[in-house]
């Protein structure tokens, strides 16, 4: 009997050791979280709320009459300055932009996810994307990719019919979109996929409505959710220390004067230029990266401006799959340029 107990104990020890070895991911296992905050301006990210646009007393108390307006709005994203890389503070000579000619959403996401602008993509209609995105490439290569998007055009941008990617979009288009996306992501945070793409957008929706206060609230809520995702990944042994978070936007917005901030776009429309539609500066974006592969903070100045095209190769590098990069893709952001498997 004693022998049997001893043998059983050895057997159990052997099994649990083997299981533990299996359960621990290889050192190469890497996880990527891409979060986009549609049309969120670098101005609010780095300067905080624009005092000239806030009238509601509660919002003034929370976001304007405070010691540090930027910190009051999106403290987690700002922490990327110290914990990673945060590009696009033009007041400090840091530059990031879209390089497509349109400065609105479909061309922006298409450029971001394919690694270069496509001049034929000059619409926001739900036309299936002819370009293959890095999410499709990763999915085809066997990575588990999950997408949660506020905008119902995202399935077309990711060409779900061809790519087979599964894309969550809000069930109720009349209700606020981001809370529906947040709830859906939250429900699966305990079982992270290899690559998670969360596309938030109530910032853009509220800005187009001209509600600056609600635009601020959407940004603040997005920032809180970024922190929640990051904390969930860092407290999960499978993903802790192996996760890269990338946060950026598909375009910026116009300036504060004459309410140009409510819109965005280069003024190009069906091949012609319509000056009244131009929102100067809405090609300017921000880009933040936080994760284990960062080597040093890159300096992207006006003369060497970072491009949203670089996000595609950055995603591949962060996933340890730079072998999937295409010759026409912009290089990864500099902090990842030397990353090796
Ligand atoms: Zn928009």
**Ligand 1 centre distance from Cα of residue 286 (Å):** 16
- Residue 89: how many CA atoms within 13 Å on its side-chain side? 15
**Ligand 1 centre distance from Cα of residue 258 (Å):** 17
**Ligand 1 centre distance from Cα of residue 191 (Å):** 32
Distance between CA atoms of residues 280 and 253, nearest Å:
8
**Ligand 1 centre distance from Cα of residue 251 (Å):** 8
Predicted confidence at residue 271, as pLDDT, reads 72
Distance between CA atoms of residues 29 and 44, nearest Å:
35
**Ligand 1 centre distance from Cα of residue 97 (Å):** 16
**Ligand 1 centre distance from Cα of residue 199 (Å):** 13
DSSP state of 336: G
Predicted confidence at residue 336, as pLDDT, reads 61
**Ligand 1 centre distance from Cα of residue 20 (Å):** 48
**Ligand 1 centre distance from Cα of residue 338 (Å):** 35
**Ligand 1 centre distance from Cα of residue 252 (Å):** 9
**Ligand 1 centre distance from Cα of residue 39 (Å):** 6
Predicted confidence at residue 226, as pLDDT, reads 98
Predicted confidence at residue 299, as pLDDT, reads 80
Distance between CA atoms of residues 1 and 31, nearest Å:
48
DSSP assignment of 83-117 equals: HSEEE--GGGT--EE--SSS-SHHHHHHHHHHSS-
Cβ contact 147:109 at 8 Å: no
Give strand ranges (E) for 47-120: 85-87, 96-97
**Ligand 1 centre distance from Cα of residue 249 (Å):** 11
For the chain, helix (H) and strand (E) counts, in that order, are 14, 11
Closest CA to 37 of 188, 149, 136: 149
Between 105-114 and 310-318, two packed helices, what is the crossing angle to 10 degrees? Answer: 40
Query: pLDDT tens per residue, the chain (341 residues)?
Result: 455 555 555 444 444 433 333 444 444 579 999 999 999 999 999 999 999 999 999 999 999 999 999 999 999 999 999 999 999 999 999 999 999 999 999 999 999 999 999 999 999 999 999 999 999 999 999 999 999 999 999 999 999 999 999 999 999 999 999 999 999 999 999 999 999 999 999 999 999 999 999 999 999 999 999 999 999 999 999 999 999 999 999 999 999 999 999 999 999 877 788 888 899 999 999 999 999 877 765 689 988 999 999 999 999 999 999 999 999 999 999 766 444 33
Predicted confidence at residue 56, as pLDDT, reads 97
**Ligand 1 centre distance from Cα of residue 219 (Å):** 14
**Ligand 1 centre distance from Cα of residue 269 (Å):** 15
**Ligand 1 centre distance from Cα of residue 182 (Å):** 20
Phi, psi of 36 (to 5 degrees): -110, 140
Q: Which fold has domain 31-336?
A: Alkaline Phosphatase, subunit A (3.40.720)
């Amino acid at each position: 009997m004693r022998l049997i107990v001893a043998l059983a104990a050895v057997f159990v020890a052997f099994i649990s050791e083997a299981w533990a070895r299996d359960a621990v991911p290889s050192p190469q296992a890497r996880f990527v979280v891409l979060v986009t905050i549609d049309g969120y301006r670098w101005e609010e990210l780095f300067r905080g709320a624009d005092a000239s646009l806030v009238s509601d007393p509660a919002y003034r108390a929370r976001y304007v009459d405070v010691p540090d307006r930027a910190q009051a709005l999106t403290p987690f994203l700002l922490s990327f300055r110290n914990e990673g890389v945060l590009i696009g503070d033009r007041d400090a000579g840091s530059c990031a932009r879209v390089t497509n000619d349109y400065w609105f959403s479909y061309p922006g996401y298409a450029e971001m996810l394919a690694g270069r602008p496509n001049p034929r993509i000059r619409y926001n209609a739900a036309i299936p994307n002819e370009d293959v995105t890095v999410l499709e490439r990763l999915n085809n290569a066997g990575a588990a990719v999950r997408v949660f998007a506020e905008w119902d055009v995202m399935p077309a941008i990711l060409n779900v019919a061809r790519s087979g990617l599964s894309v969550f979009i809000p069930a109720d288009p009349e209700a606020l979109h981001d809370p529906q996306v947040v709830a859906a992501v939250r429900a699966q945070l305990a079982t992270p996929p290899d690559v998670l793409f969360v596309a938030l957008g109530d910032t853009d929706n509220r800005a187009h409505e001209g509600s600056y206060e609600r635009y601020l609230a959407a940004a603040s809520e997005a920032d809180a959710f970024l922190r929640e995702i990051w904390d969930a990944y860092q407290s999960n042994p499978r993903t802790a220390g192996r996760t890269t978070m990338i946060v950026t936007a598909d375009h910026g917005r116009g300036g504060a004067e004459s309410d140009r901030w409510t819109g965005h776009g280069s003024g190009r429309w069906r091949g012609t230029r319509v000056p009244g539609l131009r929102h100067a500066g809405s090609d300017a974006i921000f880009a933040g990266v936080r994760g284990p592969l960062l080597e040093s903070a890159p300096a992207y100045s006006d003369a060497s401006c970072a491009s949203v095209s670089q996000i595609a190769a950055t995603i591949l590098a962060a996933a340890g799959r730079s072998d999937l990069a295409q010759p026409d893709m912009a290089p990864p952001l500099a902090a990842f340029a030397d990353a090796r498997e």
